[in-house]
């Protein structure tokens, strides 16, 4: 048999063994659940959830099904993750360039920031952001950082095209609003991931040979144009794989939102498994959803790189 044929046989055997193990575990789990009198199966997904979730992009009420509630959780996870990735990238590039700068007033604070953020637990940072936000005044005494913008312990309120936010009843209504849970989680994820991205940017830029910069200078390109046209395109090749894994980490870290009551996938899963008691199904489903999100993101990046290079 050719080496390639042998490899295929071995891989098929390994896959079969892994599949058999998973199947065995599932059978054992099912019989154990039955022995303990715990209901199993996914029929619960079609039943009414009966609990409320803070308003988000996807309409939802307690009348909707558990499946819908989970979709709301997923959308909330994706929402904070995408916003976090954009913010973290902007901050990360700025941090990386600041660290490379010859101006010490830029490079030293950037280095200090990286050390602090990378060497403290993420959950602690999240709780700090959240308690800082909770320390803001109430809706009646909301801060006005910019005209039309209101900031208080109930959230950040921005004017929309049609209306300006204003106090109404218990809360501020109208315009666009970000809850303190979303805001704290977004800031936490962005500032944390930016520290790692900053190092990736720095490493990427340093990986481009000095000769390239010198050649660009010899051609008379300005420093900014050298960076934009010569250094960054080459640095990007080095930066994309580790940055991808940081983006995926950010999406996974979004599950920490459960600690401050942000209704993301894990929080909704928690309420669901608690109301239904179907822990294995609920956790398995959350795992599969995360896996699917991560793998499709990886695949997209992979295809993009293949197309580009």
> In the complex with another protein, which residue's Cβ is closer, 13 or 24?
24
Q: Tell how many helices (H) and how many strands (E) occur in the chain.
A: 10, 5
> In the complex with another protein, which residue's Cβ is closer, 258 or 293?
258
> In the complex with another protein, which residue's Cβ is closer, 81 or 253?
253
> In the complex with another protein, which residue's Cβ is closer, 186 or 205?
186
Residues 6 or more apart in contact with residue 206 via CB below 8 angstroms: 100
Q: In the chain, how long is the greatest CA-to-CA distance?
A: 79
- For residue 226, what are its two tokens? 């050298």
CB 137 within 8 A of CB 143: yes
Closest distance of CB 105 from another protein, Å: 37
Instruction: State the Cα angle at 250 between 247 and 253, rounded to 5°.
Output: 155
- For residue 143, what are its two tokens? 């801060």
Closest distance of CB 123 from another protein, Å: 6
Instruction: State the Cα angle at 70 between 68 and 58, rounded to 5°.
Output: 55
Closest distance of CB 127 from another protein, Å: 9
Beta bridge mates, 65: 48
Closest distance of CB 71 from another protein, Å: 17
Residues near another protein (CB under 8 A) are 24-25, 28-29, 31-33, 36-39, 50-55, 61-63, 123, 131, 134-135, 138, 153-154, 169-171, 180-181, 255-256, 258-261, 263, 267, 270-271, 273-277, 279-280, 283
> In the complex with another protein, which residue's Cβ is closer, 152 or 197?
152
Q: What is the DSSP string of 106-166?
A: HHHHHHHHHHHHHTS-HHHHHHHHHHHHHTS--GGG-B-SSTT-EEETTEEEE--SS---E
Closest distance of CB 283 from another protein, Å: 6
Nearest to 142 by CA among 130, 134, 154: 154
> In the complex with another protein, which residue's Cβ is closer, 13 or 30?
30
Closest distance of CB 125 from another protein, Å: 13
Helix 66-100 crosses helix 279-308 at what angle (to 10 degrees)? 40
Closest distance of CB 172 from another protein, Å: 11
CB 169 within 8 A of CB 191: no
Helix 104-118 crosses helix 66-100 at what angle (to 10 degrees)? 140
Closest distance of CB 121 from another protein, Å: 9
């Amino acid at each position: 048999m050719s080496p390639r044929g042998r490899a295929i046989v071995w891989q098929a055997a390994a896959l079969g063994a892994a599949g058999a193990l998973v199947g065995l575990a599932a059978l054992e789990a099912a019989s154990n659940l039955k022995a303990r009198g715990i209901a199993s199966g996914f029929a619960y997904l079609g039943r009414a959830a009966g609990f409320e979730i803070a308003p988000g992009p996807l309409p939802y009420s307690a009348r909707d099904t558990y499946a819908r509630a989970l979709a709301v959780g997923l959308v909330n996870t994706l929402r904070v993750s995408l916003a976090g990735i954009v913010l973290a990238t902007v901050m990360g590039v700025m941090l990386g360039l600041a660290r490379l700068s010859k101006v010490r007033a830029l490079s030293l604070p950037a280095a200090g920031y990286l050390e602090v953020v990378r060497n403290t637990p993420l959950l602690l940072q999240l709780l700090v952001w959240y308690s800082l936000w909770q320390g803001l005044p109430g809706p009646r005494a909301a801060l006005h950082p910019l005209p039309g913008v209101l900031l208080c312990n109930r959230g950040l309120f921005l004017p929309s095209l049609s209306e300006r936010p204003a106090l109404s009843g218990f809360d501020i209504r109208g315009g666009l609003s970000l809850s303190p849970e979303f805001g704290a989680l977004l800031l936490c994820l962005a500032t944390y991931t930016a520290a790692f991205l900053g190092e990736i940017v720095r490493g990427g830029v340093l990986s481009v040979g000095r000769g390239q910069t010198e050649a660009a200078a010899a051609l008379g390109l300005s420093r900014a144009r050298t960076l934009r046209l010569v250094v960054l395109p080459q640095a990007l090749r080095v930066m994309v794989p580790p940055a991808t894994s940081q983006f995926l980490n950010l999406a996974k870290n979004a599950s920490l939102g459960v600690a401050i009551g942000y209704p993301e996938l894990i929080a909704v899963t928690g309420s669901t498994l608690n109301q239904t008691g179907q822990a294995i199904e609920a956790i398995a489903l959350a795992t599969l959803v995360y896996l699917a999100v991560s793998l499709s993101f990886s695949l997209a990046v992979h295809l993009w790189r293949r197309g580009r290079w």
